[in-house]
Amino acid sequence: MLSRGSGQRRLHTAIAAVCLAVLALPASAIPPFNRSPYDPGQAVTVQGVVSDAKGRPLPDLRVTLEASRSGFSIYPLGKRKREVATGSALTTAQGEFGLQFPWNRRFNHFELVVAVPVATPQGEDLHELYRSDITRRVRQGSPVAVPVALQDTSFLDTLRQFLGSLRSDEERRTYQQVGRPDRVDRTAQGGHLETAWWYFRTGKVYRFRDGRLEKVEAFAPVNPVS
């Protein structure tokens, strides 16, 4: 039976032997864990096409590249992103996008985000539709090809259907000021189109007649039904 001291000596000897074996290897045989694929400041291109599940291109979506320094934190415990830098572009009519940034070794984590701009009372917001970690792809070399296929476009379809229904500058201005309504009712009355925009959380309904705002009514706020 080995003593505790004898076991520790053998363990230290084994570790030393492994270290010497690694040092004896040629540089080309050591895995390039910290080797950078780019020179400092070298332009890196991220490009692709955003489409729906059927392959149809999706224009006018905001594609953002988030570069950050990722690492573990003691408080709060867990993995955190620091020094986040972003750059964005809109998809073309063919759903294409292209982003370029200068390489900086401080950044070790990259994510691609696809979002659609939505008006709110506080200003324009971005509703996130897609997010993917593309760090491995970025480290494989430029250009970085990232095709994006959105499997669920229900929010986007509903939003664009609403935006396409706006008939007047007054309706478009109201949307920019108070945001997208929770529900829209349309009724034909004597050759006129009456429209009601319901905002359940704030307890207001905006009533339009042929695209012209006639009145705003208040009611007790309620949570909208999904």
Confidence (pLDDT) at 3: 47
Looking up residue 111, the CATH number of its domain turns out to be 2.60.40.1120
Cα dihedral 33, 67, 129, 73 sign: positive
Confidence (pLDDT) at 82: 74
Contacts for 25-30 with beta carbons within 8 Å, 24 or more apart?
A: none
130, part of any domain: yes
Q: Is 172 in the same domain as 139? A: no
113-178-65 Cα angle (round to 5): 10
Peptide bond into 143 cis (omega under 30): yes
196-199-155 Cα angle (round to 5): 95
145, part of any domain: yes
H helical segments located in 4-63 = 4-24
Q: Are 15 and 22 in contact (CB under 8 A)?
A: no
Q: Which of 198, 222, 200 is nearest to 208 (CA)?
A: 198
- In tens digits, the chain (226 residues) has pLDDT values of 444 444 444 433 333 333 333 333 343 443 444 567 899 999 999 999 999 999 999 999 999 999 998 765 555 555 667 778 999 999 999 999 999 999 999 999 999 999 999 999 999 999 999 999 999 999 999 999 999 999 999 999 999 999 999 989 999 999 999 999 999 999 998 889 999 999 999 999 999 999 999 999 999 999 877 6
Q: How many helices (H) and strands (E) does the chain have?
A: 4, 12
Q: Which of 44, 207, 20, 50 is nearest to 116 (CA)?
A: 50
Q: Is 174 in the same domain as 113? A: no
Q: What is the 3-state secondary structure (H, E, C) of 56-118?
A: CECCCCEEEEEEEEEEEECCCCEEEEEEEEEEEEECCCCCEEEEEEECCCCCCEEEEEEEEEE
Q: Is 15 in the same domain as 57? A: no
Q: Are 84 and 68 in contact (CB under 8 A)?
A: yes
**What is the spatial distance between Cα 199 and Cα 57, in angstroms, rounded to a whole number?**
32
Q: Does the global pTM surpass 0.85?
A: no
224, part of any domain: no
**What is the spatial distance between Cα 116 and Cα 74, in angstroms, rounded to a whole number?**
35
The torsion angles phi and psi of 19, rounded to 5 degrees, stand at -60, -45
181, part of any domain: yes
Q: Is 61 in the same domain as 10? A: no
Tell me how many domains the chain contains.
3
Instruction: Write out the residue range of the structural domain in which residue 212 sits.
Output: 166-218
Q: Are 50 and 146 in contact (CB under 8 A)?
A: no
160, part of any domain: no
Q: Is 80 in the same domain as 177? A: no
